[in-house]
Amino acid sequence: MLRKTLAPVLAPFLAMAAGALALPAAAHAAPPPAPPRAEIPFADHGGVDNWRAVSDREIWFEDLHHRWYRAILTSPAFDLPYAEYIGIDARPSGTLDKFGAIYVHGQHYPFASFEAMPGPPPKKARHR
């Protein structure tokens, strides 16, 4: 008799307990994999094949494997769109990454971000 009267009372509690046990398994699901770190190894020894200035705050680098990387500068380099050459600061490891910087006409410009891009930089629009 006691068993018949407790079953309807305990059923909601048993359902909540089963749900609470299943919740931690879903909460501990593996996080999505982090994107690969964008870096150009040996940038101080010819690892950068090409570069293009898109604006005074954005520069794109091409490595020896024809992969492109975009760097955003922390401050504008007003001479960058007109520079014929730049200096690459990849110290201390020689790898160009988010901790790198460039020199334009003797001024040091650190990177705010450095990321791998799927293709070359966009072409400039022609004015007619």
Q: Which domain holds residue 95?
A: 43-117
pTM of this prediction? 0.70
Is 10 among the domain residues? Answer: no
Q: Report the number of distinct structural domains present in the chain.
A: 1
User: Residue 38 falls within a domain, yes or no?
Assistant: no
Query: Looking at the domain assignment, is residue 32 inside a domain?
Result: no
- pLDDT the model gives residue 54: 94
Q: What is the pLDDT of residues 34-66, one digit of tens each?
A: 667 889 999 888 899 999 999 999 999 999 999
Residue 107 counted as domain residue: yes
**Which residue from 75, 76, 69, 77 is spatially nearest to 114, judged by alpha carbons?**
69
Please tell me the predicted confidence (pLDDT) of residue 128.
55
Listed as ranges, residues in the chain with pLDDT below 70 are 1-28, 34-35, 125-128
Question: In this structure, is residue 29 part of a structural domain?
Answer: no
Q: What is the pLDDT of residue 73?
A: 97
Whether residue 100 is contained in a domain is answered as yes
Residue 90 falls inside a structural domain: yes
Residue 34 lies in a domain: no
pLDDT recorded at residue 88: 94
Tell me what pLDDT residue 9 has. Answer: 62
